[in-house]
């Protein structure tokens, strides 16, 4: 029985699963583009344009981004739970090599 060698290159974010094989690209929720803006009343909003309806508000820029990421994950989880197609931005996040 042979054991696979697992290494992770912190400089590139790539994981090598077996010595001599090519690396896999690391895809995370942070790599999904988010559009951010500010309302006249000072509230921040964040929107994932590639997922219609996934938009959230926050008191700060950071809280709006965190809220829209959480919403996107809930939408993707709901799709998985109901056997529906995963939204396109998550196809690579949840892909199996």
Residues 61 and 97 in one domain: yes
Residues 79 and 59 in one domain: yes
Residues 89 and 64 in one domain: yes
Residues 68 and 89 in one domain: yes
Whole-prediction pTM: 0.66
Beta strands at 35-38 and 55-58: parallel, antiparallel or unpaired: unpaired
Residue 84 confidence (pLDDT): 92
Picking from 85, 68, 82, the residue whose alpha carbon sits closest to that of residue 29 is 68
Residues 23 and 44 in one domain: no
- The model's confidence at residue 20, banded by pLDDT at 50, 70 and 90, is low
Residues 42 and 63 in one domain: yes
Residues 41 and 71 in one domain: yes
pLDDT above 60 (res 62)? yes
Mean pLDDT computed over 64-92? 90
- CATH no. for residue 92? 3.30.160.250
Highest mean pLDDT among 9-18, 19-28, 36-45, 78-87: 36-45
């Amino acid at each position: 029985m042979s054991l696979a060698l697992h290494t992770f290159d912190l400089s590139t974010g790539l994981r090598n699963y077996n010595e001599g094989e090519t690396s896999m690209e690391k895809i995370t929720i942070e790599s999904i583009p988010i559009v951010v803006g500010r309302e006249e009343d000072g509230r921040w909003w964040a929107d994932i344009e590639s997922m219609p309806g996934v938009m959230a508000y926050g008191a700060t820029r950071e809280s709006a981004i965190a809220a829209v990421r959480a919403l996107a994950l809930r939408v993707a989880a709901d799709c998985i739970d109901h056997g529906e197609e995963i939204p396109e931005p998550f196809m690579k996040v949840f892909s199996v090599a």
